[in-house]
């Protein structure tokens, strides 16, 4: 373990850009440009064009666990999604995604609602939902911090980054901080292995994260929710 | 406005637009010569398009390296119902990080490739299956798809050709196994991501039971360039059997990790020491995994004279896979890293096949025991025997992939294992 420590935080990787998904400090683009937000801007809640109305397992920092699921723009979005598949079952993952996007997690009740909407059995929906790791079966912190500790990040200190998050927050893995803000977990490779350590926080990637970056990163997140 | 990781030895065909936000738009992509290949393809017969791809010798970039033109020609010529094209953007193989860049910097390159592919195999609908974690990249892709619809490149009667092709962006929900082609189809159908027994092959019975072709993001992103310039143009790079350029994802202990687009057949040592700047002060090469975590590990000796094409890497006892080169210096604890990879497979096994479900767990437990100094010399035999039983006995090759790093690392780094075992014996760890 001490082996990887030498690599992390020592500035040995010349391209460092902690805090956001850029690859390097030499990059003369803004964070919005690198993340693509400038181009995408804010996607409409109804999802826009049916082909592009894809849903994502995490999205919003604001969560409303009791929100009604398929109403207004969200119903519109669901109908667009449904129109892309020859069977109702085909829309199951996007619909579960949508539910998580709205409520922040997929509870048993949510699964039942989704099952009813698509005409599937509760047990079937539960079987599928429990297969995929991105569905939160229970509530998580407003910021779900997932640290990659797979091989490429591990070689460059992923374990230490994970430890730093846990240390600064004083939590165990998977536990939510008392203020409800943070849950830290370990995650498998995030496909950002060239910029280790990769950390996913809700929908955003943070790359080149070292243990030293952790306090500032947490501060930044705290300030985002005011 | 340069992409951060560039090197003068790179041949930037697919990655030319990276780092330039303008390429995300239809206009920007057109300014780079975009959408002319689509126009050209629509003016050709399907057979001619497939023939051009066959001439190029392009091989699938998702890992298996199967020739794309030949794969396309497996699709039934006579259409009895819907055909589908799936684009595999589930990129989850540890060490691989190229598809995300292709999605978020050059989405129209991929869209154009998908449209040409769909035309060639007579598919009216393309599903692009992005891994769920790729929120930002998927958003960019989705917006680009929307724009391409507005511009008339996707949808009904594209470019007045009479062809109808739809594209749908689909986000997964966190399962490595959904990168396996039949598991991916099950996932789009709203099922658990369980690989299917083959045959029947997807070209006969695929998505929603219909003839389906599945290609990787990088494979499809190469198509517009091949159509624009011709199959033989593509052969100016690479080797006879592995033509073209390839995105190499380099990670681990080098000074400049990153994506580098290089001709296939590029020397591995040149990649490590020249392109990626070699190691930190006082460190030297210990091991390389050349194709993502699923392929056998190589020792420093294996790397000597190794060329990075499909055949060159096989000659050295490993596989090119998706060209995800993970580089380890002499500070690396090999047993720990192998254990970490096996943990991954144990976590991601879909559980259908006993050798894989049980075997990955056993491997992980024994490796952890050795890592903690509680292993015995017999454990190595057990690991190898388990690996044998896990290879070639299951529905998909995830099981084989989990066994490969274990067997190869015991073969090549036995002293590392023995050192941990002896250390444990000496201190008498229980
Ligand atoms: C366990 C497993 C995981 C895979 N993951 C991916 C992946 O993430 N992305 C990918 O393109 N191919 C992946 N593949 C390979 C696909 O099954 C398939 O061969 C490939 O997408 C075909 O595209 P190509 O011919 O363009 O390479 C995986 C295969 C297996 C067995
Ligand atoms: S080999 Fe493993 S992952 Fe593949 S089908 Fe069997 S159990 Fe599932
Ligand atoms: S190993 Fe960490 S992102 Fe791939």
* CB-CB neighbors (< 8 A) of B347 in chain A: 188
- B1 has pLDDT over 50: no
What DSSP string runs through A76-108?
HHHHHHHTT-SSTGGGHHHHHHHHHHHHSS--H
Q: What is the mean pLDDT of residues A30-52?
A: 89
For A224, the token pair is 């985002």
- B137 has pLDDT over 50: yes
Task: Provide the pLDDT for residue A57.
Answer: 87
Which CATH number is correct for B21-234, 3.40.50.300, 3.90.1150.10, 3.20.20.70, 3.40.50.11540? Answer: 3.40.50.11540
Percent of chain A scored above 70 by pLDDT?
88
Do B4 and A23 make contact, defined as CB atoms within 8 angstroms? yes
- B425 has pLDDT over 90: no
- Nearest neighbour of A3 by CB, restricted to B145, B250, B332: B332
Percent of chain B scored above 70 by pLDDT?
98
- B194 has pLDDT over 70: yes
Let me know if A66 is exposed, middle or buried by CB neighbors in 10 A (0-12, 13-18, 19+). exposed
* CB-CB neighbors (< 8 A) of A156 in chain B: 252-253
Percent of chain B scored above 90 by pLDDT?
94
Answer whether B86 contacts ligand 1 (Cβ < 6 A): no
SS3 label, residue B132: coil
Confidence of residue B123 (pLDDT cuts 50, 70, 90): very high
Contacts of B386 (CB under 8 A, 6+ apart): B359, B362, B363, B366, B403
A190 touches chain B (CB under 8 A): yes
Taking only the tens place, the pLDDT of each residue in A197-212 is: 999 999 999 998 999 9
Let me know if B358 is exposed, middle or buried by CB neighbors in 10 A (0-12, 13-18, 19+). middle
Residues of chain A with CATH 3.40.30.10: 143-224
- As its CATH architecture, domain B245-326 has Roll (3.10)
Task: Provide the pLDDT for residue B430.
Answer: 44
Task: Provide the pLDDT for residue B427.
Answer: 66
Answer whether B349 contacts ligand 1 (Cβ < 6 A): no
Residues of chain B with CATH 1.20.1440.230: 334-429
Taking only the tens place, the pLDDT of each residue in B94-111 is: 999 999 999 999 999 999
- Phi/psi of residue B88, nearest 5 degrees: -90, 100
C-alpha of B391 from chain center: 21
Task: Provide the pLDDT for residue A28.
Answer: 75
- A1 has pLDDT over 90: no
Taking only the tens place, the pLDDT of each residue in B336-389 is: 999 999 999 999 999 999 999 999 999 999 999 999 999 999 999 999 999 999
- Are B42 and B159 a contacting pair, CB within 8 Å? yes
Q: Which of residues 62-81 of A touch B (CB under 8 A)?
A: none
Q: Which of residues 16-45 of A touch B (CB under 8 A)?
A: 21, 23-24, 26-29, 33, 35-40, 43
Task: Provide the pLDDT for residue A26.
Answer: 61
Q: How far apart are CA B9 and CA B18, in angstroms?
A: 16
Residues of chain B with CATH 3.10.20.600: 245-326
- Cross-strand pairs, B86: B127, B214
Q: How far apart are CA A21 and CA B102, in angstroms?
A: 15
Between the alpha carbon of residue B175 and those of residues A187, A188, B56, the distances in Å are 11, 10, 33
Nearest CA in chain B to A50: B168
Taking only the tens place, the pLDDT of each residue in B59-97 is: 999 999 999 999 999 999 999 999 999 999 999 999 999
A89 touches chain B (CB under 8 A): yes
- Are B107 and B99 a contacting pair, CB within 8 Å? no
For B237, the token pair is 């790079």
Taking only the tens place, the pLDDT of each residue in A129-186 is: 999 999 999 889 999 999 999 999 999 999 999 999 999 999 999 999 999 999 999 9
A11 touches chain B (CB under 8 A): no
Between the alpha carbon of residue B174 and those of residues B60, B147, B192, B324, the distances in Å are 23, 27, 11, 20
Residue with tokens 């020739």: B67
Higher pLDDT, B351 or A12: B351
> In terms of DSSP bridges, do strands B245-252 and B324-329 run parallel, antiparallel, or are they unpaired?
parallel
- Residues, chain B: 430
SS3 label, residue B417: helix
Task: Report how far ligand 3's centroid is from the alpha carbon of A149 (Å).
Answer: 7
- Sign, Cα dihedral of B368, B371, B374, B379: positive
Q: What is the mean pLDDT of residues A93-106?
A: 92
- Nearest neighbour of A132 by CB, restricted to B92, B149, B175: B175
- Residues, chain A: 226
Nearest CA in chain A to B134: A203
Question: A143-224 belongs to which CATH class?
Answer: alpha beta
Task: Provide the pLDDT for residue A25.
Answer: 53
Task: Report how far ligand 1's centroid is from the alpha carbon of B177 (Å).
Answer: 9
- Looking from the CA of residue A192, the nearest atom of ligand 3 is 3
Percent of chain A scored above 90 by pLDDT?
66
- CATH 2.60.40.770 for domain B334-429, yes or no, is no
């Amino acid at each position: 373990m001490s082996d990887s420590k030498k690599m992390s935080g020592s500035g040995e990787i010349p391209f460092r850009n902690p805090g956001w998904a850029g690859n390097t400090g030499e990059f003369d683009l803004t964070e919005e440009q690198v993340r693509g937000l400038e181009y995408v801007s804010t996607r409409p809640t109804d999802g826009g064009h049916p082909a592009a109305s894809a849903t994502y397992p995490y999205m919003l920092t604001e969560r409303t666990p009791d929100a009604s699921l398929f109403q207004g723009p969200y119903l519109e979005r669901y109908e667009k999604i449904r129109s892309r598949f020859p069977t109702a079952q085909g829309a199951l993952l996007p619909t579960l995604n949508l539910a998580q996007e709205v409520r922040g997690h997929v509870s048993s009740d949510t699964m039942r609602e989704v099952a009813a909407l698509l005409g599937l059995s509760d047990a079937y929906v539960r079987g599928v939902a429990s297969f995929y790791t991105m569905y939160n079966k229970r509530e998580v912190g407003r910021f779900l911090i997932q640290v990659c500790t797979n091989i490429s990040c591990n070689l460059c200190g992923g374990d230490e980054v994970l430890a730093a998050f846990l240390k600064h927050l004083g939590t165990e893995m998977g536990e939510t901080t008392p203020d409800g803000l943070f849950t830290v977990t370990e995650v498998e490779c995030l496909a950002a292995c060239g910029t280790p350590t990769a950390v996913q926080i809700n929908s955003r990637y943070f790359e080149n994260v070292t243990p030293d970056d952790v306090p500032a990163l947490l501060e930044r997140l705290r300030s985002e929710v005011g | 406005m340069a992409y951060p990781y560039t090197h003068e030895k790179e041949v930037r065909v697919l990655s030319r637009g990276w780092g330039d936000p303008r390429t995300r738009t239809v206009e920007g992509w057109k300014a780079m010569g975009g959408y002319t290949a689509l126009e050209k393809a629509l003016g050709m017969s399907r057979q001619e398009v497939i023939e051009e791809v066959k001439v190029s010798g392009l091989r699938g970039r998702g890992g298996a390296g199967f020739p794309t033109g030949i794969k396309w020609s497996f699709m039934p010529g006579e259409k009895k119902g819907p055909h589908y094209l799936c684009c595999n953007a589930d990129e989850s193989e540890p060490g691989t990080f190229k598809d995300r860049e292709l999605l978020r910097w050059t989405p129209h390159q991929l869209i154009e490739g998908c449209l040409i592919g769909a035309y060639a195999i007579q598919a009216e609908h393309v599903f692009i299956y992005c891994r769920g974690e790729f929120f930002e990249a998927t958003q960019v892709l989705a917006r680009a798809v929307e724009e391409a619809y507005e511009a008339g490149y996707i949808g009904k009667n594209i470019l007045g050709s009479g062809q109808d092709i739809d594209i749908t962006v689909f986000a997964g929900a966190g399962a490595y196994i959904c990168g396996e082609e039949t598991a991916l189809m099950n996932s789009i159908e709203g099922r658990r991501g369980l690989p299917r027994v083959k045959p029947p092959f997807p070209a006969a019975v695929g998505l929603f039971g219909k003839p389906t072709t599945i290609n990787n993001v990088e494979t499809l992103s190469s198509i517009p360039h091949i159509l624009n310039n011709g199959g033989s143009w593509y052969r100016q790079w690479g080797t006879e059997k592995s033509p073209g350029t390839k995105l190499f994802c380099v990670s681990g202990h080098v000074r400049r990790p990153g994506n580098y687009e290089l001709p296939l057949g590029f020397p591995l040592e040149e990649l490590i020491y020249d392109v990626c700047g070699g190691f930190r002060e006082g460190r030297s090469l210990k091991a390389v995994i050349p194709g993502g975590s699923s392929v056998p590990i190589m020792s420093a000796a294996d790397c000597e004279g190794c060329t990075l094409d499909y055949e060159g890497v096989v000659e050295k006892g490993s596989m090119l896979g998706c060209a995800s080169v993970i580089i380890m210096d002499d500070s690396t604890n090999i047993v720990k890293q192998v254990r970490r990879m096996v943990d991954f497979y144990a976590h991601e096994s879909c559980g259908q096949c006993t050798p894989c479900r049980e075997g990955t767990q056993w491997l992980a437990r024994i490796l952890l025991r050795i890592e903690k100094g509680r292993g015995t010399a017999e454990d190595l035999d057990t690991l190898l025997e388990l690996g044998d039983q896990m290879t070639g006995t299951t529905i998909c090759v995830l099981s084989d992939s989990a066994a490969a790093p274990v067997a190869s690392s015991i073969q090549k780094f036995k002293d590392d294992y023995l050192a941990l075992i002896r250390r444990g014996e000496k201190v008498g760890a229980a």
